[in-house]
Amino acid sequence: MKSSADGANGAARPTKPNQLATVSERKLKANRENAKKSTGPKTPRGKALSRRNALKHGLFATQITDFEALSEDPNKYLELLKGLWNQYQPIGKAEAIEVERIAICFWRLRRAWRYENAANLAARRDFVRAELDEQEAYCKERDKEEEAILLLLQEAKKEIQEKGEISQELKQRIVALVPPFESLWKVQNQAALVQVFRVNPPRILKKLSLEQRSRLLAMQTVTNVISQFEELADRRYINVEEAARGKHAIPNSEVLDRLLRYETTIDRALNRALERLERLQRRRLRQPLLPPVSVHPTQ
């Protein structure tokens, strides 16, 4: 009887673990289904608290509000810290602190770059428009001068069509407005010569009389001169705007001095943290310690 009971009990024992496994599987499945229905915190307070979960409190960055006050993303800092952590693999509190110091230094350098951009943006916003307004009178005056020149050049074009050349009287009027007109005409005449032969095959040019070829060349030359003045007018506005903006491509002396002092302080702190971390890790690995680097600026 005992052996039979033992046999019965022995036969019944294997079924219990299976039953427990079945229940666990059902619970696991139910938990998964319930998790799908969860949408996270819904209230503003709940969302604010949830956001703090991603920030691991360290020695220096202790509050998420430290980042939010400057409209910074704390997750970006965590990415930086994680990358440095994976790179240096600190062991022990001392090494971990130095890695975090390094992360903070890099983050502060990022703030310096952000400050420089903000200073330049403010300068462009406040000063560029005023400088462009000052240049507007100059541009308008030049526009009037070039408008008069273009009218004379259009008149020259008409004379070439009708008479085959520009009259001396008209040339003198053009030179009065554009003293280097003769030099300009020679340069554009050479370019026109190439264009005429490029557009018109030699067999067609041979059929033209000397007067016709001279008129064709003069017409192309005056067309080139007109195009050059129109291009200069367009480029003038581009150059004026570029000059106004380019003057603020770097910070003014006050901002630049502040940046240099701030970045110099950060660089020193960064170099000290890197040096301390290296010495700590060499000591832990029983490697010989390197003598500290001493830099003395020369005069």
* Domain regions of the chain by residue span: 131-249
Interval 114-148: pLDDT, tens? 999 998 888 877 777 777 777 777 788 888 888 88
Does 1 score more than 90 pLDDT? no
**DSSP letter for each residue of 120-165:** HHHHIIIIIHHHHHHHHHHHHHHHHHHHHHHHHHHHHHHHHHHHSS
Task: Return the higher-pLDDT residue of 178 and 37.
Answer: 178
Asked whether residue 204 carries a pLDDT value surpassing 70, the answer given is yes
Mean pLDDT of 259-269: 95
Contacts 24+ apart (CB under 8 A), 160-168: 160/215, 160/218, 160/219, 160/222, 161/215, 161/219, 164/211, 164/214, 164/215, 164/218, 165/214, 165/215, 165/218, 166/218, 166/222
Residues 156 and 137: their CA atoms lie apart, in Å, by 29
Check pLDDT > 50 for residue 19.
no
Q: Dihedrals φ, ψ of 61, to 5°?
A: -95, 90
CA distances from 209 to 8, 57, 214, 217, 219 (A): 127, 91, 9, 12, 15
Contacts of 251 (CB under 8 A, 6+ apart): 116, 119, 120, 123, 259
Q: Pull the structure tokens for residue 142.
A: 């030049």
**pLDDT value for 245:** 78
**Residue 281 clears pLDDT 90, i.e. is over it:** yes
pLDDT of residue 9 exceeding 50: no
- Name residue 81's amino acid: L
pTM: 0.52
| Of residues 205 and 76, more confidently modeled | 76
Lowest mean pLDDT among 8-12, 78-82, 129-133, 145-149: 8-12
| Residue 40 pLDDT | 55
Task: Report pLDDT for 266.
Answer: 96
Local confidence band at 91 (pLDDT 50, 70, 90 cut-offs):
very high
The secondary element (H helix, E strand) that includes residue 58 is: none
Mean pLDDT for the stretch of residues 189-207? 81
pLDDT at 236: 83
Can you give the pLDDT at residue 42?
62
Question: Is the model more confident about 146 or about 19?
Answer: 146
| Tokens at 242, concatenated | 């570029």
pLDDT confidence tier of residue 242, bands split at 50, 70 and 90: confident
Which of 24-33, 175-184, 207-216, 248-257 is predicted with the least confidence, judged by mean pLDDT? 24-33
| Residue 149 pLDDT > 80 | yes
Q: How large is the average pLDDT for residues 190-204?
A: 82
Phi-psi region of 164 (alpha: psi -120 to 50; beta: other; left: phi over 0): left
More confident: 23 or 223: 223
Q: Which amino acid is at 251?
A: P
